[in-house]
Amino acid sequence: MNLLTVLSIFALFQGAFSQEDILQRLPICATKCLDATVQLSRCGADDLACLCTDTAFMDAAQACNSANCTVVETMSATNTTLAACGVPIKSKTVEMVAVTASIGAFAVLMVALRLIHRAISCKAQLGADDLLIALAGIASLFQNVPVVVAGYLGFGRDIWSIPPDNLTASFKWMYVTYLSYQEAEFLCQLSILAFYLRIMTDPNTRKIVYGLILFVIGFGLANTFTMVLQCNPIHFFWDGWRGEMERACTIDIRTWGLTRGGIEICLDIAIITVPLPMLSRLQMSFRKKVQVMSMFCVGFMITVVGCLRIWSLLEFNQSANPT
């Protein structure tokens, strides 16, 4: 059972791939691995379905590729092999782009409506909270647009099906997304706290708000610098996947993400609960108090999002197919 026989069988059963196609598609290192490992298969030379489902054979070929091929060559070999076996490419690009674009557009629309209402109201003047939420809206554009561009480049599909240059470009865009997400997050928190300063008169409560503002600024700047400088050199973030660079990311992104996510959840809860004591003392009926406090408590939805983000981070870290 030699390589030529196997390739002939692949061509026979998969009309889309000729023998020459497979030879041209597979890297040289992968053809050598295929020739060596196919002899270990329990399947007959004329049983393509068996060869494609022979996990021992496929695992041996994958291990050989990983040991003898570059990362780019291994991805190319995986893509060619799975295509020859008729395994479809999994893709969530449409869902990723649709969710990002719709939610992102809705957030920007809400910010725009708030600013327009505040600007045309004869009883209100634009304040620090309006400026901060406007900046958060701009940051959210830089957070969401790169996701759409990355999706156009192939992000959302199986990693081995994305052309290497597109994968590198996608990681560059995702770098912008991750950084912008953090900026939008802490600007939004500062906007809420600035709004509290505008409506609250109790000295003790204002001290708490000022303390939270200092913490949010410090934590936001620390997150920003950590995100920017997590890899040395910085471009390792989008070039390092090739396995051709000696330097690496010095920060355990999983530990950092989980720690940061936990702190953000606690911080969000602290910010949302600050006005509740003041609201409970308002001179109005119990029903109206509940209605007003419920409106403020809608912000707890961000806590749910934070929990989901931590869960997705755990899933992402354990995946060999992160795109």
Count the alpha carbons within 13 Å of 274 in the hemisphere toward its beta carbon: 29
Known binding residues for heme: 47
Contact assessment for residue 251 and residue 223, using Cβ atoms and an 8 Å cutoff = no
- In whole angstroms, how far apart are CA 202 and each of 44, 205, 273, 294, 305? 82, 5, 15, 21, 31
What is the rounded CA–CA span in Å between residue 253 and residue 113? 37
Known binding residues: 47
Give me the DSSP letters along 252-319.
-HHHHHHHHHHHHHHHHHHHHHTTHHHHHTSSS-HHHHHHHHHHHHGGGHHHHHHHHHHHHHHHHHT-
List b or e across 95-106, with b for residues whose CB sees 16 or more CB atoms inside 10 angstroms.
ebbeebeeebee
